[in-house]
Structure 1
Amino acid sequence: MVTTREGGASKAPYDSFNLGDHVGDEPGAVAANRARLAAELGLPEERVVWMEQVHGRTVAVVDGPQGEPVEATDALVTAEPRLALVALVADCVPVLLADPEAGVVAAVHAGRVGARVGVIPATLSAMASAGADVQRVEALLGPSICGECYEVPAAMRDDMEARLPGSACKTRSGTPGVDLRAGLWRQLADAGVARIGVDPRCTREDRTLFSHRRDGTTGRLAAITWVDHD
């Protein structure tokens, strides 16, 4: 599941369904939005697990409700039924992973830095340790900034291509760019993940989505996954 900007309590520039509690929005509005999300998932609020995302490759395995966002991590893994894992983004790639047979799921925040240092391979390894088989894993690459909009210096593009092959591209204006979803797709496929879906929406182009590159101060959308049965 991936949320949009619409239907929440936040005021501009976070309007309106901002789920990020670290971007300067009114805490009461964020709390109301998070309560609404839990209600729409049909889960108690304490069974929705958030992260303190830091653009790294740390993966946390959780087996029950967390009183606070999981500290300093960019991926969550669980085999616990009805425990929703959330990744927040506003241009980075949210990646949802699942081995339906084993009942193991993961939510990953894969920005440029996290993708560069290997947050996806680290997550697949943690899923395997929890009982998943990479050949059964299904992946969804959620909405993010597209390569045609993600302009970077040439040296950064080249570094990303060396660390995440397939990510180098040109922007719409012909300048050096990075296509994170293309690079992550290749990384997942090379790891043995056979079923990879891609949400093609670009956060910068689609104004129903939050985009830090487009708007600067803005909210965060959520990508959520969970095991819905024992």
Structure 2
Amino acid sequence: MLDMTRPEPLRSPLLDAAHAEGVRHGFFTRIGGISEGIYSNLNVGLGSGDSGDSVRENRRRVAHWMVVPAEKLCTLHQCHSADVVVIEEPLGETRPKADAMVTQQPGLAIGVLTADCGPVLFADAQARVVGAAHAGWKGALTGVLENTIVAMERLGAERARIVAVLGPAISQDNYEVGPEFQERFLAADTGNARFFRASTRPGHSCFDLGGYTMERLARAGVGAEMLGHCTYADADRFYSYRRATHRGETDYGRQISAICLEDL
């Protein structure tokens, strides 16, 4: 039985292998927080309409699991860009506008918030460099994954050693898009047609965000895996922007995926 009173994040075997080198990670679900209503339970979205006190307590619980003080849980003002920032100290109240970050500083947990987009955590355990990227369709299409890898290399990581894991995101079965969406991807690369399949609605298709993300990571030359959980389909464990929209809800919560370097 799930313990609803504390966070129990999902883990990646690929990143767990890096734990011996002091890399800690978690793909947190909505379980283990104090938020109520449409935000229940572990909503960490500072930009949501949830109670600020509840969000801060939820973030404190995430930080506690990551074994860092609450002020050292670093998140961004995400804007669906391909921009990456280097984090060297706690961010405080200032959240840079970007969608990925990298660090080589022990004791800083870097995290990305999602509610259907893909959270991707990166690590080069030997170089002790980690990264986190918010990869929605726009960020993935415009290069946020590759930019994160380059930023890690600038801190001393080696591409051949980097591992990357895609956490819970919306599945192809639940990601229906219009023709203009598909046209963007085909304009970038006609081979992207394989990530679309016809939906039951004429003129529409279903997009495989997970498959597309994994393809971009493979082409970038890093080892990668996908956890395979669908945020839309599993309302008990995940927030979903699209599900909230389909239900006519006024807002939605955000889950966090975080990674940090432990002090050795």
Query: Structure 1-normalised TM-score?
Result: 0.94
User: How well do the aligned residues superpose, as a CA RMSD in angstroms?
Assistant: 1.6
- Where do 5+ consecutive residues of structure 2 fail to align? 1-25, 246-250
Contact 2:122 2:162 in 1 (8 A): yes
Are 1:186 and 2:211 an aligned pair?
no
Percent of aligned pairs sharing the same letter: 35
Structure of larger gyration radius: 2
Matched residues in 1 for 2:255 and 2:184: separation? 28
Where does 1:1-230 land on structure 2 (aligned, <5 Å)?
A: 1-163=26-188, 166=192, 168-170=195-197, 173=200, 175-193=204-222, 195-207=223-235, 208-216=237-245, 217-230=251-264
| CA offset digits 1:40-81 (Å, max 9, x no partner) | 222111211111101101100011212125311100100111
Which residue identity is paired with 2:106? P
Q: Which has the higher helix share?
A: 2
Which residue identity is paired with 1:221? Q
Which residue identity is paired with 2:221? G
Which residue identity is paired with 2:212? G
Contact 2:76 2:97 in 1 (8 A): yes
Matched residues in 2 for 1:81 and 1:42: separation? 11
Matched residues in 1 for 2:179 and 2:28: separation? 33
Alpha-carbon distance, 1:173 to partner: 3.6
Matched residues in 1 for 2:186 and 2:105: separation? 36
Query: Structure 2-normalised TM-score?
Result: 0.82
- Where do 5+ consecutive residues of structure 1 fail to align? none
- The 3 A distance-change label for structure 1 pair 226 and 171 is farther
Alpha-carbon distance, 1:2 to partner: 0.9
